[in-house]
Amino acid sequence: MGSPEHLDAAPVYDNPVVDNQVMEERNPTLDIIGLYAQVIVDTVRSLYDTAEEEPNVVYFGNMEATLPKRKYAMSASFARSPWLSGCLPQPPPISLVNKFSTWISRDNDSDLDSLWFEHKFPRMLRVNAVCVKQQFFGAHPLDHEVAVLALRRFNQLDVEAQAVSKYLLWREVLEPDFSTHALAGEKVAHIKAVQLQIAHAHHDITACQTFYTPVILDHGWAAYMWDMIRKEIHILDPLCAQPVGAEKRHATHQEAVSQIHEALFSCLNEFFARWHCTSDRWKRKSPKITREVFTRDESGMCMLHAIRHYDGEKMTWPLTKEKLS
């Protein structure tokens, strides 16, 4: 206890366990990102909890204990950009679009209140037509499953537009499942739907120069792009022209990019041997993809527009209120 003149001093014990304990400072931004992603995961999972699961069909959040057999990244070069090769999908006939818009905009919810869309790869997707009407033609914000529906159709259009080889695509658009599971802190490489989309893709994923992933955060939707040649990450934020909350959004994007970047290369290195590049020394860019101020509820459609029309350097079709409508 020491000499008499130090009786009032607190005793000190030789306890290396206590001495080596370091209190980690919690990151409130990471906590918010993780909590919001977990809410999305629980909400989407609940949509399929009541349905009878079909055999041999993957559902949202299904885990796989084992990893797929590792493949070699064999591609010696990357696929060409569709803007350079002239293989962009053709727009639908305007007359057909106008007829469909007029029909679905009528008061016909009784005709739409049923399961219109069911798609089983890479995992089961079911979407009610009322949701499509409310989100594409109404004022409802884009939700997780309708975003998956749109991106799967985009992928089909990309494949159909390839004139030379449908096996080579310039961009790989990961479904929202990837970023949502990553931000929720789950082992993304063991998510069965992720394994099917990346390791068992129907095309040569090692030839993709760019990887896009949509991200839903508490302030709205955004999209991130990885350029495998330039080792650049582009943050495509539809709210980039909104001055209110800009600093908070920037901090949120930086943390989200770090988590998703780690998850992406975890999958690439687990599924492929000798991937083209490593995960370190990547630059981050935040291009201003619009000059107009959009709201949180509009950010979902803006995200879809950005993924379709961002060529890796600029928006090939301006993101404006008029163009979006």
DSSP class of 272: E
Lowest mean pLDDT across 5-9, 75-79, 220-224: 5-9
Do residues 199 and 71 make contact, with C-beta atoms less than 8 angstroms apart?
Answer: yes
- Output the pLDDT for position 139: 86
Peptide bond between residue 122 and the one before it cis (omega within 30 degrees of 0) = yes
Terminal-residue alpha carbon distance, the chain: 78
- Output the pLDDT for position 52: 78
Question: Nearest Cα to 216, choosing from 173, 188, 179?
Answer: 179
Q: Taking 70 as the threshold, does the pLDDT of residue 14 lie above it?
A: no
Q: Taking 60 as the threshold, does the pLDDT of residue 20 lie above it?
A: no
Do residues 66 and 199 make contact, with C-beta atoms less than 8 angstroms apart?
Answer: no
Question: Nearest Cα to 257, choosing from 288, 294, 296, 212?
Answer: 212
Q: How confident is the model at residue 106 (pLDDT cuts 50, 70, 90)?
A: confident
Average pLDDT over residues 207-215: 96
Lowest mean pLDDT across 8-12, 235-239, 240-244, 289-293: 8-12
Tens of pLDDT along 138-193?
A: 889 999 999 999 999 999 999 999 877 888 899 999 999 999 999 999 999 999 99
Do residues 214 and 149 make contact, with C-beta atoms less than 8 angstroms apart?
Answer: no
| Domains observed in the chain | 28-47+57-323 (3.40.395.10)
Question: Nearest Cα to 221, choosing from 150, 124, 125?
Answer: 150
Q: Taking 70 as the threshold, does the pLDDT of residue 16 lie above it?
A: no
Q: Taking 70 as the threshold, does the pLDDT of residue 76 lie above it?
A: no
Find all residues with CB under 8 Å of 108, minimum gap 6, and list them. Answer: none
Q: Taking 70 as the threshold, does the pLDDT of residue 2 lie above it?
A: no
Q: Is the dihedral of CA 139, 145, 150, 151 positive or negative?
A: positive
Q: How confident is the model at residue 271 (pLDDT cuts 50, 70, 90)?
A: very high
- Output the pLDDT for position 196: 97
Find all residues with CB under 8 Å of 85, minimum gap 6, and list them. Answer: 163, 164
- Output the pLDDT for position 115: 82
- Output the pLDDT for position 109: 72
